[in-house]
Structure 1
Amino acid sequence: MNENGQVVADTRSTAWDTYAQSKPQRRKTNAKGETTWFNWTQYPDHGPGGDVLDLTPGDRVLDLGCGSGGNAAHLATLGMKSVGIDLSAKQLGKARERWPGVDGMELHQADALTYLGDTCTIFDAVYSVFGAAWFTDPGLLLPVIHAKVKPGGVFAFSQRPPADGCYGCQASYIPRGPEEDPAVVKRWDYEPDVWVLILKEHGFVGVSASVLDPPPGSSRTGTLFVRGLQGG
């Protein structure tokens, strides 16, 4: 690994390329017949929408770990200047295939810490849906997010809730070929009240964190959703 962590980034991008191959493209329409939509949870047609970001047309918004680009594309169609970054070239390829010619959307292959450290753009909101906010040390990520969100701007993210007793830095295992060991990436899991404290420690205010229930009738886990405002 070099001093910039290049080998680590390459290893993670390979893992996420593997993950991308296991996931189908987003549906052409959702249950309402919409061709673009925002989804915070792991369930279709469930949970809050993009309105929780408090954006208006022309605002700049950054998706940390945009995957195949559905949320970023939706915000662009609403008139936002929507930027999505992802480590995986395959995920970004799927995004460009699924959302060709969407005005106002930019996609970049980049590590979240590197991109935020290098960009001069101040965003009106930053978000992560099962993305880089889950898989990056918050002690490193939150200061650079705080520096690149306007005062009063929203930072929000969603991910799976932690398993009981499994808090802090954990390991996620991404299956590969039958003759290969799983790829391993780090993730950060905390209970909602701990996320509130962590964001407040890094200058965010009005912080809320809760676990959204799964859809009615589902016995699977809910979705952790955290939201705060840049405190200036």
Structure 2
Amino acid sequence: MSDCGFHHEAKNVAERRVLWIALVLNAAMAVIGGVAGWIAQSAGLLADALDMLSDATAYAIGLIAIGRTARFKANAAWLSGSVLLVLGVGVLIEVGRRVLHGAEPLSGWMIGTALLSLAVNVYVLRLLAPLKSGEVHLRATWLFTRADVVANVGVILAGVLVLWLGSPYPDYIIGTLIGLYVIKEAVEILGDARQARQDARNPGNAAE
């Protein structure tokens, strides 16, 4: 029995280390992406930065949830999904504002910043791979990062199209797609959290 306890403790230590690395990297990229998005007048970069910020929040919640009850973890995942849903809707609103008022996104900033974000997210995704089939609050962190990788590739493509076409619309389109993708991920996480809450209330059903 003591060996089981040691294994669980070691697992928690490893999870904390991974989540701390992910938290620091995503928080840094959220700041860098946000500043770059503002300078570049890019809805796509701003959307990507908000997505990274939501990831950092999810990792922080994941750290708090380690070692807590199943119900606490389900509530943590629910909070993560709710934050992500709000940010996704906010992204769509910001894209609409830019379409109405106009913007001139700078493709070089878009491509360079998104490439840096992609490198960070691929690294974090590899770190989180062992957690993707774990408990609900840990699965949420993996889903967040998977969404980021898709978003980074989209921003790079949009930057290339902005340069090629001389039009801001590829940036508007990728900002919209990132917002919709974020909302999709939020709904998936909220669904997982709802199921985890039911399992926590009925542990006998979860064991079947």
Same fold (TM over 0.5): no
Structure with bigger RCO (C-alpha 8 Å, 6+ apart): 2
More strand by share: 1
Whichever of the two has the greater Rg, that structure is: 2
How high is the TM-score relative to the length of structure 1? Answer: 0.29
How high is the TM-score relative to the length of structure 2? Answer: 0.31
